[in-house]
Structure 1
Amino acid sequence: MLLAGALIFTLACAATLLTTSMTQFLVARFVQGTSICFIATVGYVTVQEAFGQTKAIKLMAIITSIVLVAPVIGPLSGAALMHFVHWKVLFGIIAVMGLLALCGLLLAMPETVQRGAVPFSAVSVLRDFRNVFRNPIFLTGAATLSLSYIPMMSWVAVSPVILIDAGGMSTSQYAWAQVPVFGAVIVANMIVVRLVKDPTRPRFIWRAVPIQLSGLATLILGNLLLPHVWLWSVLGTSLYAFGIGMIFPTLFRFTLFSNNLPKGTVSASLNMVILTVMAVSVEVGRWLWFHGGRLPFHLLAAVAGVIVVFTLATLLQRVRQHETAELAAEK
C-alpha cells in the first residue's frame, strides 16, 4: 500500500502536465491527495513496526522535521520558480521527486512483519474500526494529538490574515515570520533525536508541558497587556510549537501501539480524527478572528492547550496500566 500510494502520487503529478481544464486539474489534485493519505496512514505504521520503540520515535521526529520544512520552502520556491517557468513545470518537478522517493522505498525500506493472507471482509473492517473507537487508550491519545494540533493549525490557517492583511507584511516577510514557528518544531525534534535517550519517560514528557503553557500564556498576556499585531502571536506560537514538538512523536507511538488492535486501522482512524478536528478548529479560528480579533482567536489555542494537559495525564496513566497488564500476562 505504501509503494502503491507513492506510485499513484507520482503518476497523478505527471498527469497534471496533461490537464487542459479546471475539472481535469481538480481530479488530478484529488488523486494526489488520496494517495498522500495512503502514504501517511501506512507509512507511519511501517516505520513504527520496522524499528524498536526509541528508534521509531526518533525517526518520527526526523520525518516530522522534514514535513514541516515543506510549508516554509514550498511556497517560497514555488513562487520564485513561477517567475521563470510555467506552473505545470512545478508538478513535473514534484513528479520527479515522487519517483525518487518511490525508488528509495523500493531499495531501502525495511520489510515489516509478514502475516498470512487474510481475505478481505467489509464486516471485519467495520468491526475493527468499531473496536478502535471503543478503545480508551486510542480515544485519549486521539484527543491529545488532535487538541495539540489546534494552536498550530489554526495559526497556519489564519496567520495570512493576521500578518499580511492586519500586519501589512509582504508575502516574503510573511514567509520569514513563519520560520520561528516551524523552526521551533524542527529544533525540538532534533533535540529528541540527538540528546534524549528515552523520549517515552513520563518525566521527560511532563518537562515539555510548561514550555507549551508558557507559549499559550505569551499569546494571551502579550496581546492583552502589550498589543502588537504579530510579535506576541509568533513568539507564543513558537514556544508552544517547541514544547509540543518534543513529545509529539512519543504521543503518536503511545496511541498507535498501546493496544492490541490492527495498526493500519488505528492509524487510519487517528488520521480521520485529527483531520476532522483540524478542519473544525480552522473554521472556528477564522470565525473568532473575523468576529472578535486576536484575543478570542488565541483563546481557542489556549483552551485547547490547557485541555491537552488533562488528556495527556489520562493517556500516560492508561498507557502505564496497559504496560503493567501486559507484563502480568507474560508472567
Structure 2
Amino acid sequence: MQRILSFFTRHAATLFFPMALIVYDFAAWLSTDLIQPGIINVVRDFNADVSLAPASVSLYLAGGMALQWLLGPLSDRIGRRPVLLAGALIFTLACAATLFTTSMTQFLAARFVQGTSICFIATVGYVTVQEAFGQTKAIKLMAIITSIVLIAPIVGPLSGAALMHFVHWKALFGIITLMGLFAFIGLLLAMPETVRRSATPFSALSVLRDFRNVFRNPVFLTGAATISLSYIPMMSWVAVSPVILIDAGGMSASQFAWTQVPVFGATIVANTLVARFIKDPASPRFLRRAAPIQIAGLAILIAGNLLWPHLWLWSVLGTSLYAFGIGMIFPVLFRFTLFTNDLPKGTVSAALNIVNLTIMAVSVEIGRWLWFNGGRLPFHLLAVAAGVAALFTLGGLLRRVRQHEARRAAVGE
C-alpha cells in the first residue's frame, strides 16, 4: 500500500493530472458532439424552430466567454487548483440539469452553463499544463491531449446516432454527467498547484490593469488573431453542418455522423505527428510548412463547391485538409501566445479565450445567416476569408516572437 501511495504521489502531476484533464475536456466536447446528430430531435421535442439548432453551439461558446474575465485573474491570485475543481463541479451539475429541461429555452440555458467549462479548461487547465512542464514537453503533451480529446467529435456523433435508436436524447447527458463526476474526482486527487497565492488583492482595478497590459502586448494580439481566425472554418462547420446535411440534405443522423470523421480525424493525425515525430515543433520552418496544407484545403473547399455544388463531398474534404494543417500548429500557437511575454499567465489565457470565443461565436451566427440567406457557397466563403487572413497573421506572429527572443537574449547577455 505504501508503495502504491508513493507511486501515486510521484506521478500524480505527470500522469494522473493530464488523464483527469483529458476526461474533463473530452466530456466538455462530448456535450456538443454526442447530441449533434440528435439536435433536430431536441428542437422537435420542444416544438421549437429548426433555426435554433445551431444556437446550441453558439450559446455553448457564449458560456465559454462568460467567466473568462474572472477566472484568469482569480487563478493568478488564489491558485489554479481551486478554480479548476470548481469548474469541473459546475459542468457536472449543468449536465445533470439538462435531464430535467422541459423547453428549448431551458435546454439552451443549460447549454450556456455547460459552456463555462471552456473557461475553466482553457484558462486554467491548459495553463497548468504549460506551467508544470518545459516548452517542448508541454507542446507535445498538449498535442496528445488534443488528439485524445478530438476523438469526441468522431466518436460523439457516431455514438450519439447509435444510442438514440435505443434511448432518449436526455440519456446522453446522463452519460456526460458521470464523466464529469469522474473528472472532478480525478482532479481532486491529482491536480498540482503551480502558482503561489498572490499578494495582489483581487479587485476590479487590478483585474482591469492586468487585462489592459495584456491587450497592449503586440505578440498577444497577433497570436490571438491567428488562433481565432484559424478556427473559424472548423467551428462554423461544426455548428451549421447538421442543418446543411440533415435538415436540408436529407441525411440520417448516422450518415451525418460519418461525415464528421474525416474532419476531426485529420486533426487527430496532425496532433499525433507533432507529439511523436516532430523534434522541434516550435521551429518557424515547421510552422511555415503547414501553410500550404491549409491553402490546399481552402482551395478544394471553394473550387469543389463552385464546380460540383450538389456534392457535399468537397465541403468535407476541404475542411478536413484544412483541419490537418491547423492541427499541426495549434499547440505551438498557444504556447507562443501564452509565454512570449512576462504577463500573468491566467490573465493572458483568459484574454486569449475571450477573443477566440467571441470571434468563433460571432462567426457561427454569421455562418448560420449566410447559409439560410445565401446557401452553401457564401457559407464557405466565410471559411476561406478567415483561413487566408490567419496565414497573414501567422507571419506577423513569427516576426514578433523572433523579435521578443532577440530582446531577451540581449538582456541576458
Asked if these proteins are the same fold (TM beyond 0.5), I'd say yes
Separation of aligned partners in 2, 1:163 and 1:246: 28
- How far residue 21 of structure 1 moved from its aligned partner, in angstroms, is 5.0
Q: What corresponds to 1:192 in structure 2?
A: 274
Matches within 5 A, 1:256-275: 256-275=338-357
Q: What corresponds to 2:213 in structure 1?
A: 131
CA contact 1:5–1:36 (8 Å) conserved in 2? no
The answer to whether structure 1 residue 182 and structure 2 residue 264 are counterparts is yes
One-letter code aligned to 1:279: A
Counting aligned pairs with the same residue, the percent is: 81
- How far residue 309 of structure 1 moved from its aligned partner, in angstroms, is 1.3
The CA deviation string for residues 207-252 of structure 1, in whole angstroms up to 9 with x for no partner, is 0000000000111222223434211111111110000110011101
CA contact 2:161–2:253 (8 Å) conserved in 1? no
- How far residue 124 of structure 1 moved from its aligned partner, in angstroms, is 0.5
The answer to whether structure 1 residue 219 and structure 2 residue 291 are counterparts is no
Aligned to 1:147, which of 210, 217, 229?
229
Q: What corresponds to 1:251 in structure 2?
A: 333
Separation of aligned partners in 1, 2:247 and 2:168: 28
Aligned to 1:77, which of 159, 163, 167?
159
CA contact 1:57–1:253 (8 Å) conserved in 2? yes
One-letter code aligned to 1:132: V
- How far residue 321 of structure 1 moved from its aligned partner, in angstroms, is 0.7
- How far residue 16 of structure 1 moved from its aligned partner, in angstroms, is 4.9
Q: What corresponds to 2:183 in structure 1?
A: 101
Aligned to 1:310, which of 365, 368, 392?
392
CA contact 1:69–1:182 (8 Å) conserved in 2? yes
- How far residue 268 of structure 1 moved from its aligned partner, in angstroms, is 1.0
Q: What corresponds to 1:297 in structure 2?
A: 379
Q: How many residues are paired up?
A: 330
The answer to whether structure 1 residue 44 and structure 2 residue 126 are counterparts is yes
Q: What corresponds to 2:322 in structure 1?
A: 240
- How far residue 262 of structure 1 moved from its aligned partner, in angstroms, is 1.1
- How far residue 121 of structure 1 moved from its aligned partner, in angstroms, is 1.7
CA contact 1:162–1:229 (8 Å) conserved in 2? no
CA contact 2:231–2:360 (8 Å) conserved in 1? yes
Q: What corresponds to 2:202 in structure 1?
A: 120
- How far residue 180 of structure 1 moved from its aligned partner, in angstroms, is 0.3
CA contact 2:297–2:322 (8 Å) conserved in 1? yes
Instruction: Note closer, same or farther for the CA distance 1:96–1:115 as it changes in structure 2 (3 Å cut).
Output: same
- How far residue 278 of structure 1 moved from its aligned partner, in angstroms, is 0.8
Separation of aligned partners in 2, 1:220 and 1:28: 36
CA RMSD across the alignment: 2.2
One-letter code aligned to 2:289: R
Instruction: Note closer, same or farther for the CA distance 1:16–1:300 as it changes in structure 2 (3 Å cut).
Output: closer
CA contact 1:256–1:267 (8 Å) conserved in 2? yes
Q: What corresponds to 1:5 in structure 2?
A: 87
CA contact 2:214–2:348 (8 Å) conserved in 1? yes
Separation of aligned partners in 2, 1:289 and 1:91: 29
Q: Which stretch of structure 1 is more off in the superposition, 166-175 or 75-84? A: 75-84
- How far residue 113 of structure 1 moved from its aligned partner, in angstroms, is 3.8
Q: List gaps (5 residues or longer) in structure 2.
A: 1-82
- How far residue 117 of structure 1 moved from its aligned partner, in angstroms, is 4.2
SS at structure 2 position matched to 1:169 = coil
The answer to whether structure 1 residue 164 and structure 2 residue 246 are counterparts is yes
Q: TM-score normalised to the size of structure 1? A: 0.92
One-letter code aligned to 2:358: T
